[in-house]
Chain A
């Protein structure tokens, strides 16, 4: 079963605008990661935020984490056509020995030129 739920499922914006995607999860986590997937391709790791962190930046990416609400958001600023992809959050559940990532269903982001 999938742990996370991304919202919205699909997002279409104009190039240059900011894109915000949200992720909610169910169980306690060690960390939360965001991945990007271009159509029919493998996943590319974007950013990791630990459970004791509240915000993290990487280039045009900003991730927030609210463990009390079990939610995270990914903001992409000044979007580009090349940002068109599906974005997934993944949690590393706090279960001893478990190392699997549990992914949400993803947000399909389309950047219109």
Chain B
């Protein structure tokens, strides 16, 4: 399977714990995006990378959230001191961006986080 993969698919944690999610983009895709989706809502943008550089962060991304893409390939999203309001589906997407072209984002299956 050469699509976007995410790990784990489900995570249940207790409030106050730290969690880390991993996203493996489609090979050779230079852009990687993180979104959050709560029940009954559309996804909301969190942040994106072009290669290893984090170019934009949403105001939704509080200080407890950090994302990395150290070698321009896979990415991790860490949430520290989780709160019940962090419960959501975390979606990763990747795209091949080239100047003057529209880059279509391809989504992974998501990681569903439940904070008890």
A90 to B45, CA, bound (A): 11
Query: A45 and B109: CB pair below 8 A?
Result: no
Interface residues of A, dominant DSSP? strand
Binds B, one of A61-69, A73-81, A94-102: A94-102
A37 to B45, CA, bound (A): 16
Assuming A41-B110, A42-B91, A100-B33, is B104 touching A106 (CB within 8 A)? no
Instruction: Choose among A45, A98, A103 the residue that contacts B104 (Cβ–Cβ < 8 A).
Output: A45
Task: Report chain A residues within 8 Å CB of B33.
Answer: 99-101
Q: Number of residues in B with C-beta < 8 Å to the partner? A: 28
| Residues of A participating in the B interface, judged by any CB pair closer than 8 Å | 2, 4, 30-31, 33, 35, 40-45, 48, 50, 88, 90, 92, 97-106
| Residues of B participating in the A interface, judged by any CB pair closer than 8 Å | 4, 31, 33, 35, 40-45, 48, 55-56, 58, 89, 91, 93, 97, 102-110, 112
Task: Report chain A residues within 8 Å CB of B4.
Answer: 42
Query: A103 and B42: CB pair below 8 A?
Result: yes
A22 to B103, CA, bound (A): 23
Query: B110 and A99: CB pair below 8 A?
Result: no
In the complex, 11 of the A-B residue pairs with CB atoms within 8 angstroms, ordered by the A residue number, are A2-B42, A2-B44, A35-B107, A45-B107, A98-B56, A99-B31, A101-B33, A101-B35, A103-B42, A103-B43, A103-B44
User: Among the interface residues A2, A43, A102, which one has the most CB atoms of the partner chain B within 10 A?
Assistant: A43
Task: Report chain A residues within 8 Å CB of B55.
Answer: 97, 99
